[in-house]
Copies of this chain bind each other. A is one copy, B any other.
Amino acid sequence: MDTSNERSVFYISDGTAITAEVLGHAVLSQFPVGTNSVTLPFVENVQRAQAVKAQINALYQQSGVRPLVFISIVTQEIRDIILQSEGFCQDIVQSLVAPLQQELGIAPAPVANRTHGLTANNLGKYDARIAAIDYTLAHDDGISLRGLEDAQIILLGVSRCGKTPTSLYLAMQFGIRAANYPFIADDMDNLKLPAALKAFQHKLFGLTIDPERLAAIRQERAENTRYASMRQCRLEVGEVEALFRTHQIRYLNSTNYSVEEIATRILDIVGLNRRMF
């Protein structure tokens, strides 16, 4: 990362600014440039917009370099104030509204903060999402093997291979009810498929991980234990992969993937629909 190219970046929205962050981050990741970013959500009135404009201009005066400004603002009056700043402004949502309006042949009916907001229209879907999070927490780490008939997916794997963050992400981002079950290290005879899981064979999905990465992760938590030793990690990973193959359980190696990638690859492989919130 060449920090001589470091740029200040603003993500500004009249809502949560999550859309501006996600897209701005995606675009900037295409450039070999360091960034120093500030997110300003809920810029909902003229007064706050003017303060933000002053902040952008002050930074420009001070540094002599135009800040990059990614905005997602529905209200034109607010948007125009930011667009008049000295920043290099990209209006990420509005730039797509005009072409879409032409294609759809209908006028936009903008409502501020509808993307990540709660409305009467999406309340039922939102409640289902919260229910998915509740379900996933109640079925994390093999806590409960009851109610697995309600799971949409059951993740299997050894301790610290990524089951819990993946399950939570599936619930939070996509509203999926995801249970997960750990294979316990101490007694390798435990690496059998419990009868309670066998009944749901079609929902099972395995996670595996390179033993080196697993040992590094475990060392962080339990340094110099057998649990974190290379030998133990190699043994467990070998056993669990053999178990996946024996029972014809589809599986994925999580080593080089973020939680977003693991979650979306699993849904892609098993063919589960993604819901959007």
Contacts and interface: CB of A to CB of B under 8 A. Distances in A.
Interface stretch (A16-24, A198-206, A235-243): A16-24
In the complex, the count of this chain's copies comes to 2
B103 A66 contact: yes
A198 B274 CA distance: 42
A95 B106 CA distance: 23
B113 A261 contact: yes
Question: What range describes how many residues of A lie at the interface?
Answer: 35 or more
Contact of A25 (B27, B115, B118): B115
Interface string A1-33: 100010100000001111101110111111111
A121 B172 CA distance: 26
Interface string A155-198: 00000000011001100110000000000000000000000000
A44 B254 CA distance: 18
23 contacts: A16-B261, A18-B173, A19-B23, A19-B26, A27-B93, A27-B100, A31-B100, A31-B109, A37-B276, A39-B274, A41-B264, A90-B96, A90-B100, A92-B96, A116-B261, A118-B258, A127-B217, A127-B220, A130-B259, A168-B168, A168-B172, A258-B277, A260-B277
Given A30-B93, A33-B104, A117-B258, 12 more contacts: A16-B261, A18-B264, A21-B274, A22-B22, A28-B100, A30-B74, A90-B99, A116-B258, A118-B256, A127-B217, A169-B172, A172-B172
